[in-house]
Amino acid sequence: MTKVLEFPVSRGIIPALDADSFNENRRIVAATTGIEGIAGYKLGLSSVLRLGLARAVKVLREETDLPLIYDHQKAGPDVPSMAPKFIDLCAESDVQAVILFPLAGEQAVKSFVSGALDCNILPIVGGELPFLEYRASHGGYVVDDVLERILTLAIALGAQHFVLPANDPKRLAEHVQTLRRNIVSASLFLPGIGALGGNIRDTFATVGDWPAYAIIGRAICDADHPSEAARRLSGEAIATL
């Protein structure tokens, strides 16, 4: 059964908590959690390595009831036998959702995606980062069709939430078409907006009427006034409805 996690809006932003200190990340959450259009927060390794996963989740829960997504930078490119250990640790820490990049092959996709669903944790599945050198055709080490292959299998396993890079409109449109061939509806999480070249208006237009959330780090964390930046960006997302 697919995990049901309620996001407060169908179009919005998810701040990536990438500030230099956990206290700053906590302040960003406290300052933005009441802003319309904030759909949740992405918790990454910079905080978890300092506090531990369970402690980081617990402290952030004191500031917000919004969904917390754990990004292990990136979980999944591992031997399949590691999936139960990783998922169990996430469940013990009350993580609600995890970003998975199961690059290690078919069994990795099955182990990590199915493992998350079995533990009532929402898998948000991707496989491509938003910069050209990632792909083999541009000098990287990952085959160009990796995301299409991962998405197709993840859908068959019951996944409905996906990470798509948002800074290349043509490639984003291709990924969306891959999804539409295989699933009636999906929720999309979109990094690559802001410093990496994408923008909310064009990105959300490309994904059509599906729920969409821009994952935004530096434009909020590095802003002089993070709450003002978050309010402006979330307003842009809401305006696409």
Q: Rg of the chain's alpha carbons, rounded to an integer?
A: 17
- Whether the model clears a pTM of 0.85, i.e. scores above it, the answer is yes
2 pLDDT higher than 50: no
Q: Residue 9 above 80 pLDDT? A: yes
What's 11-238's CATH class? alpha beta
Cα distances (Å, whole numbers) of residue 153 to 116, 117, 158, 217: 15, 14, 9, 29
Q: What is the mean pLDDT of residues 209-217?
A: 95
Stretch 105-121: mean pLDDT, rounded? Answer: 96
What pLDDT does 3 receive? 52
Confidence of residue 42 (pLDDT cuts 50, 70, 90): very high
Q: What is the mean pLDDT of residues 124-133?
A: 92
Percent of the chain predicted with pLDDT > 70: 98
Region 39-64: mean pLDDT is: 95
Q: Predicted confidence band at 4 (pLDDT cuts at 50, 70, 90)?
A: low
Residue 236 pLDDT exceeds 90: yes
Residue 195 has pLDDT above 90, yes or no: no
Per-residue pLDDT, averaged over 104-108, amounts to: 95
Distance CA 216, CA 194 (A): 7
Please tell me the least confidently modeled range out of 2-11, 187-196, 216-225: 2-11
Half-sphere exposure of 156 (CA within 13 A, CB side): 9
Please write the tens of the pLDDT for every residue from 155-177: 999 999 999 999 888 999 999 99
Residue-averaged pLDDT of the chain? 93
Average pLDDT of the segment spanning 121-138? 93
Band the pLDDT of 11: cuts 50, 70, 90: very high
**Domain extents in the chain:** 11-238
Q: Which two tokens stand for residue 86?
A: 């990783």
